[in-house]
Structure formats: C-alpha cells, structure tokens
Amino acid sequence: MGVTRQKHAKKIMGFYKHNFQFREPFQVLLDGTFCQAALRNKIQIREQLPGYLDGATQLCTTRCVIKELESLGKALYGAKLIAQSFQVRNCSHHKNPVSGSTCLLSMIEDGNPHHFFIATQDQELSNKVKRKPGIPLLFIIQNTMVLDKPSPKSLAFVQKLQTNQLVPEYQKQSIVELKEKEGLVKQEGEKRRKRKRAGGPNPLSCLKKKKKKTQEGQEPSAEKKKRRKRKRNR
C-alpha cells in the first residue's frame, strides 16, 4: 500500500511540476487542523513529508493561524507548538488577524504566485481551494498524509493551455511590450502600407519593349546598306 501511495503522489507531483512550474523546495502552508491531526495520529510532518513529496520542503504557516490556535486554549496547545516551529509567512492581516482558513485563502490569491501547497483538514477550506487552479491540497486520512488528485478546475486550466486558448494576462502584456520594444508593431504597419502602394507596369516588361524598339530601329539601316551595295555593283 505504501508503494502504491508513493507512485500516486509522484504522478500528481509530475502534473504540478510540468503544468504549474512547482519546484523544490516545496512550500507547504499548514493550518491548525492539520497540525492537530498530525499530533493525534503521531505523524512526524517534518520527517515524513519530504519523502512523500519526493523533494525538499519548507513547512510554513501564518500569524493568523498561530493566533487562532492561541485563542482556542489548552485543547490545541500541542498543535500551537507544532505550528510555531514552522516558518511564518507574512500575510496582510498584521493589525486585524482573521481566521486561519481566510488567511490561507488570501495567500493563494492571484494565481498562487509563490506556489504554495495547502495542508488542512478543514473541509470548507478544501472545497474553496479546489475552485482555484494549480493549488496542491494535502490532508491526513487513516494515519497517513495524502496528496489530493488535481481538481477539475486545474485539469480544465491545463486543457485550455494545451489548446492555446488561454494566455495569462501578464504574458499578453509582456508580449505587447516586447513587440513595441523591438519595433515589430511598426514594421507590420509599414509592410501593409507597401502592399497597398504596389502597382504599375513591370519594369522587366519595360526593358523588353525597349530592346524591341532598338531592333526595329536597326532593321531599316541594314536595308539601306544593302541597297547602296547593289547600286554600286550595277
């Protein structure tokens, strides 16, 4: 079962590496529910997760997640200690902390530019994560960590990319700027204008006509020379 699970994870990781440019070290954002589940099931996240994802990982969380665990008291004291051992990523809620789920969702906005994984046991948060393409989801089931298969949203996004139907807005803008920088836009306009102005007689045909005229002009002079010779002979 362990080998099958490893192959399953490797296949999914290949999908995210190839289509969404995920690279090591993999950044995994964990919330309090995942830390609590790991503690309850005696899972050593720091030791087991790199082997499961087949690459170096950076375990991280946010101040909002830690604040939420602190507010829940002694029941989640162990989960709070686990979360505090991770790297803390800056969020936009310094003065007004929000719930852990809201904070994690804010960290993956705008296309998940930092390539975060989300590790959670919160079903509502998981459903919201699945509505965004390109975000790997981790959860714990039956005492093991599981990397969820790509969501329908991620699969649809990749299919559009493969059929050249979708180009990210920032790429469109960069293409336009590059064309303007290289002067390609002006050149295209100039080519079109030249095509409109094209017309008139073919210069080669004109040259041929000139040659004919010279030949025709030479014929009378040759005839005159022949006549003069005949008269002299007489």
Q: What is the pLDDT of residues 2-55, one digit of tens each?
A: 778 889 999 999 999 999 999 999 999 999 999 999 999 999 999 999 999 999
> pLDDT (tens digit, 9 = 90+) per residue, 176-234?
777 777 776 554 445 555 555 555 666 656 555 554 444 444 555 555 555 555 555 55
Residue 89 burial (CB count, 10 A) = 18
Whose CA is closest to 57, among 101, 24, 13? 24
Which of the 8 DSSP states describes residue 42? T
Per-residue pLDDT, 205: 60
Residue 183 has phi, psi (to 5 degrees) of 75, 20
Distances (CA, A) of 76 to 39, 79, 112, 118: 10, 5, 29, 20
DSSP label of 90: P
With tokens 């919201």, the residue in question is: 128
Distance of alpha carbon 1 from the chain centroid? 34
Domains and CATH numbers, the chain: 1-155 (3.40.50.1010)
Q: Is the pLDDT of residue 1 over 50?
A: no
Distance, C-alpha 184 to centroid of its chain: 24
CA–CA gap between residue 171 and residue 54 (Å, rounded): 31
Question: Is the Cβ–Cβ distance between 87 and 110 less than 8 Å?
Answer: no
Which residue is associated with the tokens 């040259």?
207
What's the whole-number mean pLDDT along residues 69-94?
A: 94
Q: Report pLDDT for 44.
A: 95
User: Does residue 137 carry a pLDDT above 70?
Assistant: yes
| pTM: predicted TM-score of the whole model, two decimal places | 0.69
78: tokens are 């162990």
Pairing of strands 116-119, 137-141: parallel
